[in-house]
Amino acid sequence: MDIKTRVLDLLTVKKALKLAPSPTDFFRLKSGRASPYFVSTGALSDGESQSVLKKAFAETIKKGLDNGTLEEFDYVFGPAYKGIPLAVLACEGLFEEYGLNKKVLYDRKEAKDYGDATGAASAGQWLVGADGWTEGQRVLLIDDVITTGKAKYESLERLKLLPGLKLAGMVLVVDRQERLGTAEEVGAKSAVEEINEKLGIKTSSILTASEIYSLRKDSFSPEVGSAWRTYFEKYGAVKLG
């Protein structure tokens, strides 16, 4: 079984991915949009889930390095809070599967103001794992699901405390492939496209919304399948096959 199918099965069994059974049972998002599916990786809290995610991150990152989507990097950064265990899993997976030894980096919600991090604003106050940082090193961003990208920009402000910071790319568990905006107002770009342009990086994903549709569409009723296509015609950054 390929890793995408395995991760999709895991998300479904663990109820981290919920698929609407009918067009009248869609999930209301913060944007106000009624979505045919919902993803919450917080449900992947057991050992089996962690093991699958670890291998999936490792394979996705290695493939991104090999095909040039991702640049070589020194650190894997996971934004607090959900991104922290994902960054740890990615580092473990890369070492176990491919012998690539990377460092974990994550931010704090509140600045450390004691011990060795007092005084003027510094990387050590906001970033755990920054002690060994060397100017010019590269950081790979990692997270679960991207919506507006707001959290990524907040984390980037903290990452800028690292001298000579360079970004190597971004890896997501699921890319929703939706354009920014609300239920009524639809932007021209997706969150991933906007981040890629603003930060000058490329993104890889373990799964995309279009892949979820392709792998699950045969189990949809005609009404649900039609509702998926209608949703993506209105909000999608891609066309569903």
pLDDT, tens only, 140-156: 999 998 766 666 677 77
The torsion angles phi and psi of 148, rounded to 5 degrees, stand at -100, -20
Whether the per-residue pLDDT at 122 is higher than 80: the answer is no
Whether the per-residue pLDDT at 240 is higher than 80: the answer is yes
Task: Give dist(CA 20, CA 29) in Å, integer.
Answer: 13
What the block records as the tokens of 86 is 């994902």
Task: Give dist(CA 47, CA 96) in Å, integer.
Answer: 16
Domain ranges of the chain: 3-235
pLDDT per residue as tens digits for the range 74-106: 999 998 888 999 999 999 999 999 999 999 999
Specify the pLDDT at position 1.
Answer: 76
pLDDT per residue as tens digits for the range 162-217: 999 999 999 999 999 999 989 999 999 998 998 889 889 999 999 999 999 999 99
**Average pLDDT value for the chain:** 89
Highest mean pLDDT out of 24-38, 60-74, 76-90, 112-126: 60-74
Residue reference for tokens 């069994």: 13
CATH of 3-235, one of 3.40.190.10, 1.10.760.10, 3.40.640.10, 3.40.50.2020: 3.40.50.2020
SS (H, E, C) the chain: CCHHHHHHHHHHHCCCEEECCCHHHCEECCCCCEECEEECHHHCCCHHHHHHHHHHHHHHHHHHHHHCCCCCCCEEEECCCCHHHHHHHHHHHHHHHHCCCCEEEEECCCCCCCCCCCCCCCHHHHEECCCCCCCCCEEEEEEEEECCCHHHHHHHHHHCCCCCCEEEEEEEEEECCEEEECCCCEEEEEHHHHHHHHHCCCEEEEEEHHHHHHHHHHHCCHHHHHHHHHHHHHHECCCCC
Query: pTM above the 0.75 mark?
Result: yes
